[in-house]
Amino acid sequence: MTILVVEDDERIASFLAKGLRAEGYATSIARHGEEALALTSVLGDDIDLILLDLGLPDLDGVALLRTWRDRHLAVPVIILSARDRVEAKVAGLDAGATDYMTKPFSFDELLARIRAALRPAGQLGLTLLEAADVRLDLLSKVAWRQGRRIDLAPREWALLELFMRHPTQVLSRPQILNRVWEYGSDPGTNIVDVYVGYLRRKLNRPGLPQLIQTVRGAGYRLLPPTLAGGPHDG
């Protein structure tokens, strides 16, 4: 899951990015409105949620939000602002914000609001994600395969969650890199392959099919066991 943090205050931006990464979210930071617009143009649907400060050096956050909504960017946006007047909240929500939090804020509350904003419509209270024979508890961040608990590091968790949210879809290495690591970061040429390797080792059980398949020249995909009966790779 990728969160775009639009925040000109260096201290708050790095606090947010650090905290979100520790929770397994990939983050990108935009420090002014034009940069945020450029990033949303490039990443589009690869962004899962936006945290938006209102007092930006070049554009007002509410104007930025209106521009996104005019361009049909449907990503949930949580406004995070020191403006605590009712009028500001009404204007923000009416411009298309999903939620509004005032600064100073509790990080735990922000995480809960992020989870709520990311919950698919019609799945109120959903905390479990299931695909193939794997189950993820999104609240406690615990994974199981066929009832056996798997302990994952934050990046491994983020990678598995990405696969679980797109079962059977082939995900390219750049797509995975953008959604699990930071956009534009170059953490090393084969980091995706390395982490897929870690994840496979943790998911593998003797006698059970390999869940994450290599699609030559395209990337990787998670397959339900019924479809994963062919020759196993990795």
> Contact positions toward Ca ion, by CB under 5 A?
8, 53, 55
Q: Of the two residues 8 and 35, which places its CB atom closer to Ca ion in the complex? A: 8
Q: Of the two residues 52 and 164, which places its CB atom closer to Ca ion in the complex? A: 52
In angstroms, give the least distance from the CB of 44 to Ca ion. 25
Can you give the three-state secondary structure of the chain, one letter per residue?
CEEEEECCCHHHHHHHHHHHHHCCCEEEEECCHHHHHHHHHHHHHHCCEEEECCECCCCEHHHHHHHHHHCCCCCCEEEEECCCCHHHHHHHHHCCCCEEEECCCCHHHHHHHHHHHHCCCCCCCCCEEEECCEEEECCCCEEEECCEEECCCHHHHHHHHHHHHCCCCCECHHHHHHHHCCCCCCCCCCHHHHHHHHHHHHHCCCCCCCCEEEECCCEEEECCCCCCCCCCCC
In angstroms, give the least distance from the CB of 13 to Ca ion. 10
Instruction: Tell me the C-alpha distance between 201 and 32, whole Å.
Output: 41
Query: Which residue has the CB atom at the shortest distance from Ca ion?
Result: 55
In angstroms, give the least distance from the CB of 11 to Ca ion. 11
In angstroms, give the least distance from the CB of 54 to Ca ion. 7
In angstroms, give the least distance from the CB of 18 to Ca ion. 18
Q: Of the two residues 44 and 55, which places its CB atom closer to Ca ion in the complex? A: 55
Q: How does strand 49-52 pair with strand 77-81?
A: parallel
Q: Of the two residues 55 and 187, which places its CB atom closer to Ca ion in the complex? A: 55
Q: Of the two residues 9 and 193, which places its CB atom closer to Ca ion in the complex? A: 9
In angstroms, give the least distance from the CB of 194 to Ca ion. 37
Q: Of the two residues 10 and 137, which places its CB atom closer to Ca ion in the complex? A: 10
What does the block give as tokens for 11? 């201290």
In angstroms, give the least distance from the CB of 86 to Ca ion. 20
Instruction: Tell me the C-alpha distance between 179 and 48, whole Å.
Output: 9
Q: Of the two residues 52 and 211, which places its CB atom closer to Ca ion in the complex? A: 52
